[in-house]
Structure 1
Amino acid sequence: MNCLVIDDEPLATELISSYIERVDWLHLAKCCSNAVEALTYLHSTPADLLFLDIQMPKITGIDLIKSLPVKTKVIFTTAYRDYAIEAFDLDVVDYLLKPITFERFFKAISKVYGFKEPAFQSGAEYKLLHDFNESYIYLRAEREMVKVFLKDILYIESLRDYVRVKTVNGQIISYNKISYLEQKLPETKFKRVHRSFIVPLDQIVTFTPQSIKVSEFTIPIGRNYKNETLKALTKHDIMQS
């Protein structure tokens, strides 16, 4: 994603620029010290995301949004709380108050990431209902999107803000919350059995009240997930038979 940093404070510009450089799917296209310079640039070169200060000379950040040639995603970076309501009325992605930590910055761009990378390709959810063997999901791994067929997944493990997706062909580490994938995967085929694990019901070899075996892997059943998991496993076994 091509990013534009617009701020009249050099230290603030340097900080946001350094944060952008730490994220492999963001690219710093340009830094502008005022809104006029930014608007001139944007009329000839589109950007995907603006990191925009509000209080600037000549034109404020809010006025800049209203003057944009095309609708662009914006994250405000400001020292003032007073404009928050007006900012969100303009449909900005987030409103960051200075001083901005990397953790807060990353939370903001994660919202943009969600907008840019839907879990399923167009039509995939329809396929889930009709042909599970052809259904797939795209996951970002390093700098590329990897196509993963749902039938090949052995388990999904939470690594805090990332997930490990173990498949018959290897594994993928992707920036994703396990709760997000839980919502997107078909509930008739996948079950969250632990706060850190999702398993495909068709891949289960054996299970006990404490654990599940998928291929050669033993997955624990969480105490808070036990009743629902055993109920789902019993129902699935009946349906299969």
Structure 2
Amino acid sequence: MISCIVVDDEPLARSLLESHIADVPFLEHLGSFKNALLAADFLTKHQVDVLFLDIQMPKLTGIEFLKSLRQPPKVIFTTAYREYAIESYELQAQDYLLKPITFERFFSAVSRLKTPGTNQQSDISEASETTLPAHIFVQVNKKHIKVILQQIKYVESIKDYLKIHTVKETLVIKERISHFIEQLPKDRFLRVHRSYIVNQDHVTAFTQQDIEIGQIEIPIGGKYKDHVLGILKG
């Protein structure tokens, strides 16, 4: 079971999330709170795996609240505002749900959560470094399509979608880049920018500012620069 709480100043929003949580067998709802201060007090006394956290709240915003926590639980932001998406991802939020939140979108987000109780993130990272899957399946509309990992040249993020550029075609899926890279072998795929992942096997040249894959130039983001150049230079 994954324990969770809801933090939102809107009664209807809290009620909707409580209903969604009740419909998911592996979620355990521990409580709902109308502001971050009440939630903070609860967290000092209880172990919580996941916060469903609104952003625009009185006195303390969801982002301010998350930054104040020394060892925060996993967080799924729930908000009516798109403009906080980039900041939420930088805070390593699990997902960013726009209101009104459908059950389908909610279930997609919670299905990605790791089972609590063990260091799952560490386990996943170690596994991805030693296990090299030959392919993954991605959902395009209602169809699950096999993608051979070696054929992926690079992945491009555009708002809520990803373009997967392969040697044969370009597939468009609805997915977050931070979630997608978790499915890829870390010794071959490299995030070089907040909007780009590259397959090192297809890199034909690089400079201090960009990477070339054939005729395509992909920028290297400032926060990724040292790591990316260190990897590419070997």
Question: TM-score normalized by structure 2?
Answer: 0.50
Larger radius of gyration: 1
